[in-house]
Amino acid sequence: MERITPLLWLLFSAGGTVAALFLPVHLFLTGLAFPLGWLEAPSYESVLHLMARPPVRLYLFVIIALPLFHWAHRFRYTLYDGLQLKHLTMLIAVLCYGAAVLGTIVTAYLLWTMP
Amino acid sequence: MNVGPHYTLYHPRWYRRRVSVWWWLQKRSYTGFVLRELTSVFVAFFAVVYLWQLRALAQGPDAYAQFLARLKTPLFLTLDTVAFLFVLFHAITWFNLTPKAMVVRARGKRVPDRVIIGSNYAAWLVVSVAVAVVLLRG
């Protein structure tokens, strides 16, 4: 565990920066502006047209996968401190980072196989 | 940890005051800290919504329309509003903290905190506008 701590910290901070820069606008558009009709949601064809470009897929991979590692690292400590679960260190770490790795694999798979 | 035979790692037998699980409600700065830590849950929520959207897109136009319709339900509107506010809180606290996490030097002098924070917000604005323009133009 100690040996990969610097890597986990790097992923946490990279993911935190990506989340801070990119997630508010995406959540605002997808979660509020489109469903409430403030702005028109892009059509199926135009989204697929956008996603035909590899840089767009890479972008989506980055804004989904990196924030997952940010979550894993921060949530792990939230559980330790907030719920006083220090004695479950290993279990919590495996569950959190495991979920992030699984999410990353699913993201890569979906983006790779997208028509 | 140097302990005797009766001690275990996480339950040593010295005196310790029990701290309530709700310790963070007693002081505003503690509450702010825990709320900031909880923003990560909503960061993960975003990832789940986007994965769900990707799956809908892969399945075809009907699934995508269903996804868009599902986001209009009160449940998702509420979740998305809360998530948006928490992610906003994450962004603001993250930008304001950067000068403390990273010291930038230019020509041998330390760059003032407000310059670093200001450039964060400027980058945020540029990125947000760019994303909106690309998404809305299609």
The pLDDT, as a whole number, for residue B11 is 62
Q: Between chains, do B10 and A20 touch, taking CB under 8 Å as contact?
A: no
Write the CATH number of the domain with boundaries B23-101: 1.20.1300.10
Q: In chain A, whose CA is at the least distance from the CA of B131?
A: A25
Residues 8-27 of A with CB under 8 A from B: 13, 15-17, 19-27
B134 chain-A contacts, CB cut-off 8 A: 50
Mean pLDDT in chain A? Answer: 93
| Domain boundaries defined on chain B | 23-101
Where exactly are the structural domains of chain A?
Answer: 5-113
Closest residue of B to A50, CA-based? B138
Q: Residue A86: what pLDDT?
A: 77
Lowest mean pLDDT among A55-59, A64-68, B3-7: B3-7
pLDDT tens for each residue of A75-107: 999 888 777 787 888 899 999 999 999 999 999
pLDDT score, position A106: 97
Query: At B6, phi and psi to the nearest 5?
Result: -90, -10
Residues contacting B80, CB < 8 A, separation 6+: A27, A30, A31, A32, A35, B49, B71
Nearest to B96 by CA among B79, B123, B125, B116: B116
Yes or no: say if A24 and A67 are a contact pair by the CB < 8 Å rule: no
Does the beta carbon of A114 lie under 8 angstroms from any beta carbon of chain B?
yes
Query: What's residue A70's pLDDT?
Result: 97
Q: Provide the pLDDT for residue B7.
A: 62
In the predicted structure, residue B3 carries a pLDDT above the cut 80: no
Contact A47 B81 (CB under 8 A): no
**Quick one: tokens of A32?**
């509020």
What is the value of ipTM here, to two decimals?
A: 0.94
Given this model, what pLDDT does residue B4 score?
A: 47
Numbers of helices and strands, H then E, in chain B: 4, 2
Nearest Cβ partner for B95 among A20, A64, A68: A20
Mean pLDDT score, A14-38 = 97
Portion of chain A with pLDDT greater than 70, in percent: 99
Question: What predicted TM-score, i.e. pTM, was given to this entire model?
Answer: 0.88
Task: Tell me the chain A residues in contact with residue B102 when contact means C-beta distances shorter than 8 Å.
Answer: none
Domain A5-113, second-level architecture: Up-down Bundle (1.20)
